[in-house]
Structure 1
């Protein structure tokens, strides 16, 4: 023990004489000993469905917990390269000493597939600071409607668990969309809540057997439009659009709060503005025809592998310099043609000819 402490002191002293952060040295002794970085050790791994993995983590002392509905950056080192993605904790916000993540392994998801196949107790992941405004109001609603689809279940489940943990007894309706019963990672827990708590009403719709378009307006009639109801929505873009249209048609938009876990990056096709031009990746000496998608997607289609994180315009991992040309921010619609500007290529689509440092 004494020798380990002496080595720790020696390492810290060495760190003060170098440009590297102290935590880079501390992690050589124990990755859970940190000065500034927040990390978490995996304590349990469950394969709840054939496409997901549920991780229970014990964070380091820097972790202050999250608010139900927020997301957190998770980083993992694979073959010496650190990869970052964003996931929403599923546990109640009252449980600050533990973190639960349920991650769906998508076909193109490098990190999600890696964690499902390789996560083991004892593995240490990096954690960022929780962020996001998709949270419960301080003054709890008189009626809460939680709507989710696919892996969007985790932030609204965190809301449900938080409300039940604090003794909230106003009506809660939990509406979830999944392909089949086997695709719902928390089905047993939701069934138990539905049976045992009179104020909780769980309604799960299976899109492969009921409605391939996911959403039917009758699913929310009499619930979302009830007096005082507030609706919290998270899921794929098709579900988000359908529920938003539903709320707009019924003048309920001011009571709908939403967050997407993916961004619709399909090109905005306007017959008056045809897609033209070429994209030049100056560092790679590659030029391709512009097909209207984001610069990140077009770069990947060209065989390039630029760094990225969230693919949602949040983490700035994909920031590159646009040397020339005009791009459209797909989140805001804003056009920008100022030369030599740093842009996020995951949410920037070229308009005409563009040269980007990739």
Structure 2
């Protein structure tokens, strides 16, 4: 079958076979992975849950991993990373994504407002190291905040589906109860499994009654909160995903306790190391395009776009590696880590790197 596809691919040159198949039916592909939206739900304000039916190339995901979704907006293809909320290993081609419409989020707002059954999206295989290990730990602590709930929800649903017998606590932070996606399902899991504990925290004073529940914590993560919900945390594997303040608070406590190797984290927001734009010097050259621009301190991706170039990109935050390009020469600075790199002929992510002096990028 593969040989036949290769033959047809040769005969349809210069265009790939999938370009012709999509004229017959947009979701029909020979090689490319795509998915069709089959159901859309707006059960949570400001979020949308999409049910997708992937093409036959889909191989599933490990609980906690992410996928890249590609959509065309005003004729331009944009990709973003989202975590499936399904249990892993269900063996079918369906997956669900719960997507929060972030302020200024081009793709998330587009999907929230426009996604309908029948929409075809590009789909990349599941990726990422933030996932449950194959050998499940005896104790698991899941901590999430806001839209960071999606990968850990997949973990919890997986443990539930596997009849996990260890001890697990799921602690989620949200602005208010109605902003918690899939809350009814979470409560149902906790009610039928004595070894599962599901806790919610909101930024209110302790003792405040919210939606019939009395708050026991401040709504912010600290050591006392950790002791309350998971006194066995030192013997557990902890997974955390959420906004930077929550992630930093969790990691600091575990680091102070000498347990940093017991925390695995995932972030979908770009936390950059501050730089002074007035210190930016030199010229950014894009040698493949014969284009050069003054170094303003912006990322190489932003500099390329401001110069009229249209390099490929995805998440714009250093996760998906869609924007990788070769740095021919010069020194760059990673805005996530602050690290400098002066090695020539090296692949870098232009969305999270800036120029330090003169830099030549093969674009």
Q: How does the TM-score come out when normalised to structure 2?
A: 0.83
The aligned counterpart of 1:264 is 271
Q: 2:253 aligns with which of 232, 246, 254?
A: 246
Distance 1:107 1:212, change over 3 A: farther
- 2:108 maps to 112
Q: How big is each residue's C-alpha offset from its partner over 1:312-357, in whole Å with a ceiling of 9 and x where there is no partner?
A: 3233332345565421224555422345655322121333454657
Q: Distance in 2 between matches of 1:304 and 1:298?
A: 9
Change (3 A) 1:328 1:286: closer
Deviations 1:7-53 (A, max 9, x none): xx9xx958624122111111111122221112111111011322211
**Structure 1 residue 232, shift from structure 2 partner:** 0.9
Cα distance in 2 between the residues matched to 1:302 and 1:13? 39
Assess if the C-alpha contact under 8 Å between 2:52 and 2:96 holds in 1.
yes
**Rounded Cα–Cα distance in structure 1 between residues aligned with 2:272 and 2:308:** 19
| Aligned match of 1:62 | 57
SS in 2 for 1:64: coil
RMSD: 3.1
Q: Distance in 1 between matches of 2:306 and 2:255?
A: 37
> Residue by residue, what CA displacement relative to the aligned partner does 1:123-170 show, whole Å, maximum 9, x if unpaired?
111111111111112221111110111111111000000000011122
Q: Is the 8 A contact 2:78 2:107 kept in 1?
A: yes
C-alpha separation in 2, matches of 1:299 and 1:336: 19
Tell me the secondary structure at the aligned position of residue 227 of structure 2.
coil
* Matches of 2:344 and 2:200, distance apart in 1: 50
For the Cα contact (< 8 Å) 1:180–1:208, is it kept in 2?
A: no
How big is the shift at 1:64? 1.4
Instruction: Select the residue among 217, 227, 243 that pairs with 1:236.
Output: 243
Flag the 1:87–1:279 CA change in 2: closer, same or farther, 3 A.
farther
Instruction: Measure the CA separation in 2 of the matches of 1:227 and 1:89.
Output: 29
Distance 1:14 1:203 in 2: 53
Contact 2:272 2:337 survives alignment (8 Å):
no
**In structure 1, how many angstroms separate the alpha carbons of the residues matched to 2:306 and 2:274?**
15
Partner deviation per Cα, 1:59-117 (whole Å, 9 max, x = no partner):
12111111101111111122332221111100111323210001111122111111111
Q: Does 1:195 align with 2:177?
A: no
- Specify the SS of the correspondent of 2:169: strand
Q: Which runs of 4+ in 1 moved over 6 A?
A: 208-213, 298-305
In the aligned structure 2, how far is the partner of 1:208 from the partner of 1:319? Answer: 43
Cα distance, 1:289 vs structure 2? 3.4
Equivalent residue of 2:189, what SS? Answer: helix
**Cα distance, 1:214 vs structure 2:** 3.8
Q: Does residue 307 of structure 2 align to residue 311 of structure 1? A: no
Q: Which runs of 5+ in 2 are unaligned?
A: 207-216
Q: Which of 162, 171, 187 is 2:167 aligned to?
A: 171
